[in-house]
């Protein structure tokens, strides 16, 4: 009888070990599945985080637009070496242009494009440069043709890599009269690319 109980116990233990092995095996498979799911979800979170960062950059970039156009509605005079002042602001997104001084100050680093269109008059040849931190970069000219009441215009454009607080302006190199009448003809513009 003892021997029967021993055989019975050995069989029970064998069955329990087999059942336990099934549970352990099943548990291992579930752990592998959970580990795989965790890895997949981790990658998905990383992708969503990158996408969110890109969208944030786009949104912040749109809120950091920089663009201005300014002109004058009436004839003005200046002197060689002086900044042309354009008091009529058509657009000043980002607030970089100062209409009282005629100077644009970069609100942030970046690649900017500047354009000047100058109409001279009254037999005066007008030379205007776009100046970056005191150094002329490009120049345009309008030749009055040595005739009274003759109008001519010139324009030029430059792309500049600016650092925050760099300054850009239109400067008279020679001549003294720049013209607009009613609506801005002589203008200064710039924008962040």
Mean pLDDT of 46-73: 79
pLDDT tens-place string over residues 31-44: 777 678 778 767 88
Query: What global pTM score does this model have?
Result: 0.66
The Cα–Cα gap between 157 and 187 comes to: 12
Sequence-distant (≥ 6) Cβ neighbours of residue 39 within 8 angstroms: none
DSSP annotation of 127 reads E
What pLDDT is attached to residue 153?
Answer: 81
110 and 193 Cβ atoms separated by less than 8 Å:
yes
Question: What is the chain's alpha carbon radius of gyration, rounded to the nearest angstrom?
Answer: 37
pLDDT tens-place string over residues 139-166: 998 876 666 656 778 899 999 999 999 9
Both tokens assigned to 179: 């013209």
CA angle 51, 53, 57 (to 5 degrees): 115
What pLDDT is attached to residue 137?
Answer: 98
DSSP annotation of 162 reads E
What pLDDT is attached to residue 58?
Answer: 67
Higher-confidence position of 132 and 49: 132
pLDDT tens-place string over residues 68-123: 999 988 776 676 789 999 999 999 999 999 999 999 999 999 999 999 998 877 66
What pLDDT is attached to residue 162?
Answer: 98
């Amino acid at each position: 009888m003892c021997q029967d109980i021993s055989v019975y116990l050995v069989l029970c233990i064998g069955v329990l070990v087999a059942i336990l092995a099934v549970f352990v095996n099943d548990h291992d498979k579930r752990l592998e599945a959970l580990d795989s799911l965790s890895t997949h979800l981790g990658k998905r979170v990383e992708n969503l985080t990158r996408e969110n960062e890109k969208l944030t950059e786009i949104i912040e970039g749109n809120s950091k637009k920089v663009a201005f156009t300014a002109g004058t509605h009436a004839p003005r005079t200046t002197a060689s070496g002086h900044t042309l002042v354009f008091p009529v602001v058509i657009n000043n997104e980002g607030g970089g242009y100062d209409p009282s001084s005629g100077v644009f100050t970069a609100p942030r680093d970046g690649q900017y494009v500047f354009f000047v269109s100058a109409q001279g008059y009254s037999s005066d040849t007008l030379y205007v440069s776009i100046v970056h931190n005191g150094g002329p970069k490009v120049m345009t000219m309008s030749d009055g043709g040595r005739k009274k009441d003759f109008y001519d215009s010139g324009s030029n454009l430059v792309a500049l890599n600016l650092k925050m607080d760099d300054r850009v302006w239109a400067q008279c190199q020679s001549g003294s009269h720049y013209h607009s009448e009613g609506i801005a003809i002589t203008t200064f513009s710039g924008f962040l690319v």
